[in-house]
A and B are shown apart, each in its own frame.
Chain A
Amino acid sequence: MMGEKKLQLISQKVLGLSKASETEILLFVTDRGLTRFANSQIHQNVAWEDLGISVRVVIGKKIGVASTNSFSDTALRDVVKRAENLAVWQKEDPHFKGLPKVKKLPKVVHLIHEATPAKRAEAVATIIKLARQKKITASGALDSAVSEVAVANSHGLWAYHASSASDLSTILLGRDSTGFGAQLARRVDEINATDVGIKAIEKVERGKKPIMVKPGKWDVILEPQAVNEMMAFFAWLGPNARIYHEQASHFSGQLGQKVAGENITIVDDPLDEAGFPMPFDFEGHPKTRLAIIKNGTLTNLVYDSYHAGKHEAKNTGHALPAPNTGGPMPLHLKIEPGKLTMEEMIKKVKKGLLVTRFWYVRVLNPKTLAITGMTRDGTFLIRNGKIVGGVKNLRFNQSIPEALKNVAEISRDAVPLSSFELELGTNQMPALHIKNWNFTSGTEF
Chain B
Amino acid sequence: MKKVAQEILGKLPKVDYADIRIVEKESQNIATKDGVVEALESSTSLGYGIRVLNNGAWGFAASHDFSKQGVEKTAKRAVEIAAASAKYKYEDVSLASQKPIRTTYKTPIKEDPFAVPLEEKIELLLAADKAQRVDPQIAISQTSFSAHREKKTFAATNGSLIEQEIIWTGAGIEASSVSNNDFQNRSYPNSFGGQFATRGYEMVRELDLVGNAPRIGEETVQLLTAPLCPSGEYDIILDSNQLALQIHESCGHATELDRVLGYEASYAGTSFLTPEKLGKFKYGSKGVNLTADATIPGGLGTFGYDDEGVPAQKTYLVKNGLFVDYMTSRETATHLRKIVPGYKKASNSTMRATGWQYIPLIRMTNVNLESGDWKLDDLIQDTKRGILMSTNRSWSIDDRRLNFQFGTEIGWEIKNGKKGRMLKNPTYQGMTPKFWNSCDAICSQDEWIVWGTPNCGKGQPSQIMYTGHGASPARFRKIKTGVVKW
Residues of A at the B interface (CB closer than 8 Å) are 32-52, 54, 63-70, 79, 82-83, 85-87, 89-91, 93-95, 117-118, 120-121, 124-125, 128, 137, 139-141, 143, 169-171, 173, 246-248, 323-325, 359-368, 370, 372-374, 376, 393, 395, 397, 399, 421, 440-445
Contact = CB atoms under 8 A, between A and B. Distances in A.
A38 B178 contact: no
Interface in B342-358: 357-358
B262 A63 contact: no
B11 interface: no
Given A128-B88, A364-B484, A90 B262 contact: no
A252 B403 CA distance: 33
B33 interface: yes
Contact of B81 (A46, A362, A373): A46
Contacts of B42: 64-67, 82-83, 86
A235 B246 CA distance: 28
B188 to A, nearest CB: 18
What is the size category of the interface that chain B forms with chain A? 35 or more
12 contacts: A38-B264, A42-B84, A43-B58, A43-B93, A86-B42, A93-B36, A94-B36, A171-B265, A171-B266, A393-B398, A397-B483, A441-B403
A283 B117 CA distance: 30
Contacts of A362: 394-396
B69 interface: no
Given A43-B58, A141-B266, A361 B40 contact: no
A441 B483 contact: yes
Given A38-B266, A47-B60, A441 B429 contact: yes
Contact of A117 (B84, B358, B395): B84
Q: Pick the 10 closest A-B CB pairs, nearest first.
A: A323-B39, A367-B183, A443-B403, A48-B62, A139-B265, A139-B266, A117-B84, A46-B60, A89-B118, A121-B84
B119 A41 contact: no
Given A49-B65, A445-B400, A140 B266 contact: yes
B370 interface: no
A443 B2 CA distance: 50
Interface centre among A48, A63, A64 (most CB of B within 10 A): A48
Given A69-B46, A89-B119, A395-B403, A360 B397 contact: yes
A238 to B, nearest CB: 14
Contact of A246 (B43, B139, B359, B462): B139
Contacts of B263: 38-39, 43-44
Given A42-B89, A444-B400, 17 more contacts: A46-B359, A49-B63, A64-B42, A65-B41, A66-B42, A66-B43, A86-B41, A90-B122, A93-B37, A125-B88, A247-B139, A362-B394, A362-B395, A364-B484, A374-B398, A399-B486, A444-B403
B396 A372 contact: yes
A93 B397 CA distance: 40
B284 interface: no
A120 B64 CA distance: 23
B118 A86 contact: yes
B59 interface: yes
Given A38-B266, A89-B118, A323-B38, A48 B49 contact: yes
Contact of B41 (A35, A66, A118): A66
Given A48-B61, A247-B139, A372-B405, A64 B265 contact: no
B394 A372 contact: yes
Interface in B5-40: 29, 31, 33, 36-40
Nearest to B395: A362
Interface string B374-400: 000000000000000000011111111
B84 A421 contact: no
Contacts of A441: 403, 405, 429, 483
A24 B44 CA distance: 18
Given A38-B263, A42-B85, A49-B65, A323 B60 contact: no
Contacts of A370: 484, 486
Contacts of A46: 60-62, 81, 358-359, 461
A248 B84 contact: no
A319 to B, nearest CB: 14
B403 A365 contact: no
Contacts of B63: 48-50
A200 B407 CA distance: 34
Contacts, number: 256
Contacts of A32: 461
Interface string B78-95: 001110110111110100
A7 B117 CA distance: 34
A378 to B, nearest CB: 12
Interface string B46-63: 110100000001111111
B425 interface: yes
B178 A367 contact: yes
B144 to A, nearest CB: 8
Interface centre among A38, A42, A140, A141 (most CB of B within 10 A): A42
B77 A41 contact: no
A250 to B, nearest CB: 8
Interface centre among A41, A45, A94 (most CB of B within 10 A): A45
Interface in B306-324: none
A198 B64 CA distance: 39
Contacts of B44: 67-69, 79
Contacts of A360: 396-399
B254 interface: no
Interface in B433-462: 460-462
A45 B81 CA distance: 6
Nearest to B427: A364
A219 to B, nearest CB: 21
B115 to A, nearest CB: 14
Contacts of B269: 359, 376
B45 interface: yes
Contacts of B359: 44, 46
Interface centre among B29, B122, B263, B272 (most CB of A within 10 A): B263
A165 to B, nearest CB: 13
Nearest to A64: B40
Contacts of B427: 364
A65 B64 contact: no
A118 B90 CA distance: 17
Given A360-B399, A395-B405, A69 B88 contact: no
Nearest to B87: A121
A22 to B, nearest CB: 15
A215 to B, nearest CB: 10
A368 B64 contact: no
A288 to B, nearest CB: 27
Nearest to A46: B60
B12 to A, nearest CB: 15
Nearest to A40: B90
B333 to A, nearest CB: 15
Contacts of A444: 272, 400, 402-403, 431
Contact of A65 (B39, B45, B397, B403): B39
B267 interface: yes
A69 B460 contact: no
Given A91-B126, A368-B181, A67 B89 contact: no
A45 B405 contact: no
Contacts of A68: 43-45
Contact of B267 (A82, A141, A366): A141
B140 A246 contact: yes
